[in-house]
């Protein structure tokens, strides 16, 4: 499987690759660039600009023209057509010492959202859950850099990557209560593979994990903990990935320029670009909508 360059966008930190079925488009963000991008299958790209960092994209359950976005310290509803933004709820960020990071909605429609410190990444982060009434509940504390989250097909297991710990943890997920329990570290990432960032799951239950500093997307078996494959990407910092496209077998990959020296940027000029690869497997459900009813 060979990656193709889709769009040379020069993102500082391209994150949150999200396929929107109802629009047949890919969305992603540039966190520090404060931009949201929408790419359609004709190669047309629309940019949306914000006053704050934008970190997470979640589909709306009622309207394909709307998405839920995590900005630096709040959740908002955003209309992709009218550009109208509506504030939903503030996220605790300790006087702006913290910011939101990666997040997704669970099979039962709640938002799971990570929060990280701007500079001190050791046990300063949190994982929050936001329900249909916009109640914000702390689920995990003492996190490093909360990142990729996906659920298995049955919806009874949650896989979660804390980049600072370099591992993927499995939790039992209770869809009725929206709670997690029985954490079990299932994949320990060797340091020379980089660190786990964004994550997607395929229809067979394999975890496709973007590795920051790892030059690729790594495919992990959550049952055995074994590395099954690696998709080489011609840049060091691979930040997120998701499945989409007409047959749901295209893997879209976002990357970053952040943290690279001038010489490294010259060596890897496509850093911050959007890539894709045609895979031999269809994606699982990676983007549940947020439900308010």
Per residue in 90-132, pLDDT (tens digit) is: 999 888 899 999 999 999 999 999 999 988 788 899 999 999 9
The C-alpha atoms of residue 62 and residue 77 are separated, in whole angstroms, by 12
pLDDT of residue 33: 98
Tokens encoding 188: 């320990």
286 located within any domain: no
pLDDT band for position 46 (cuts 50, 70, 90): very high
3 state SS of 193: helix
Which tokens hold the place of 271?
Answer: 């850093």
Q: What is the pLDDT of residues 51-93, one digit of tens each?
A: 999 999 999 998 999 999 999 999 999 999 999 999 999 999 8
| 287 inside domain | no
pLDDT at 1: 83
Asked whether residue 291 is assigned to any structural domain, the reply reads: no
48 φψ region: left (φ > 0), alpha (ψ -120 to 50), beta (else): beta
Q: What is the CATH number of the domain that holds 87?
A: 2.120.10.30
The encoded tokens of residue 224 equal 């055995």
pLDDT tens per residue across span 156-165: 999 999 999 9
145 domain residue, yes or no: yes
Sheet hosting strand 66-71, strand order edge to edge: 54-59, 66-71, 74-79, 85-90
Give me the pLDDT at residue 236, please: 99
- Cβ neighbours around 138 below 10 Å, total: 11
Which pLDDT tens digit goes with each residue over 228-259? 999 999 999 999 999 999 999 999 999 999 99
In a domain, 157, yes or no: yes
- Does any domain span residue 292? no
Range of the domain at 67: 3-278
Tell me the C-alpha to C-alpha distance, in Å, between residue 160 and each of 24, 29, 165. 27, 20, 11
Identify whether 71 is part of a domain.
yes
Mean pLDDT for the stretch of residues 258-264: 97
Nearest 5 degrees, angle CA 9-CA 99-CA 79?
A: 60
90-119 per-residue burial string, b: 16 or more CB within 10 A, e: under 16: ebebeeeebbbbbbbbbbbbbbbbbbbbee
**Residue 203 half-sphere exposure, CB side, CA atoms within 13 Å?**
10
Share of the chain above pLDDT 90, in %: 93
Contact 111, 136 (CB under 8 A): no
User: Does residue 52 lie within any of the structural domains?
Assistant: yes
How much is the pTM?
0.97
Residue 293 has pLDDT above 80, yes or no: no
Count of the separate structural domains present in the chain: 1
């Amino acid at each position: 499987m060979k990656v193709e360059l889709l769009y040379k966008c020069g993102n500082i930190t391209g994150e949150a690759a999200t396929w929107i079925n109802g629009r047949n488009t890919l969305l992603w963000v540039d966190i520090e660039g404060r931009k949201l991008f929408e790419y359609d299958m004709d190669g047309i790209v629309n940019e949306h600009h914000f006053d704050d960092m934008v970190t997470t994209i979640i589909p709306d359950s009622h309207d394909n023209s709307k998405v839920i976005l995590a900005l630096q310290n709040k959740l908002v509803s955003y209309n992709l057509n009218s550009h109208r933004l509506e504030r939903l709820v503030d996220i605790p960020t300790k006087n702006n010492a913290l910011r939101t990071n990666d997040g997704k909605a669970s099979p039962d429609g709640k938002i799971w959202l990570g929060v990280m410190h701007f500079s001190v990444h050791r046990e300063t982060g949190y994982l929050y859950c936001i329900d249909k009434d916009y109640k914000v509940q702390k689920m995990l504390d003492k996190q490093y850099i909360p990142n990729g989250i996906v659920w298995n097909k049955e919806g009874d297991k949650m896989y979660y990557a804390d980049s600072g710990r370099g591992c993927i943890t499995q939790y039992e997920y209770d869809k009725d209560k929206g709670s997690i329990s029985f954490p079990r570290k299932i994949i320990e990432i060797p340091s020379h593979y980089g660190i786990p960032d964004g994550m997607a799951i395929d229809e067979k239950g394999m975890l496709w994990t973007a590795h920051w500093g790892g030059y690729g997307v790594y495919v992990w078996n959550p049952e055995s903990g074994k590395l099954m494959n690696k998709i080489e990407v011609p840049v060091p910092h691979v930040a997120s990935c998701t499945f989409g496209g007409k047959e749901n077998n295209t893997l879209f990959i976002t990357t970053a320029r952040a943290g690279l020296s001038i010489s490294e940027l010259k060596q890897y000029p496509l850093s911050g670009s959007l890539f894709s690869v045609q895979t031999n497997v269809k994606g699982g459900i990676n983007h549940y909508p947020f439900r308010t009813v």
